[in-house]
Amino acid sequence: MRIKKETFKRMAEEARKSPQQECCGLLAGRDGVISEIFPAKNALESATEFEIAPAELFRIFRAIREAGLEHLGIYHSHPRGPATPSARDVERAFYPEAAYFVIAGETRAFEIRDGKVEELRIKIV
């Protein structure tokens, strides 16, 4: 899975700016390369879980489509660690094609499909 350096840095910054609660958002790009970040509000305002409100999710998906991009990933932070998906993350992973990024100091990416988690290799381009 490939991601532009600027987008990767920006995602880590979003996590740093939000030490008290999980930050979250969507990632998009073209030809399998993630190049755009769409930060969202964590509707749960929680340090241990996140949710993007349906109206905001709809707005972001529309913005992605209007920009001629594809939805390629979802990111969120774990302010208290670890940088792996929680049981709730796995349960609520509704996009099997997306790369799930988890930021907790380091940033890691996973494919979550039918309850199975596999780590993806992040290639910064």
Catalytic residues: 22
Considering only CA atoms, which of 67, 66, 111, 77 is closest in space to residue 93? Answer: 111
Question: By CB under 5 A, is residue 51 in contact with Zn ion?
Answer: no
- For Zn ion, the closer of residues 24 and 69 by Cβ is 24
CB 79 within 8 A of CB 21: yes
- Which own/partner contact pairs does 112-116 have at CB distance under 8 Å and 24+ positions apart? 112/85, 115/90, 115/91
Q: Could you tell me the CA-to-CA distances from 50 to 41, 77, 88, 102, 125 in Å, in that order?
A: 9, 9, 10, 12, 28
- 29 is written with which tokens? 């790009």
**x/- string (CB under 5 A) for Zn ion, residues 91-120?**
------------------------------
Residue of closest CB approach to Zn ion: 89
* Binds Zn ion (CB under 5 A): choice among 26, 52, 89, 100: 89
Shortest CB 68 distance to Zn ion, Å: 30
Residue in 86, 90, 95, 111 binding Zn ion, rule: CB under 5 A? 86
Q: Interface residues with Zn ion (CB under 5 A)?
A: 86, 89
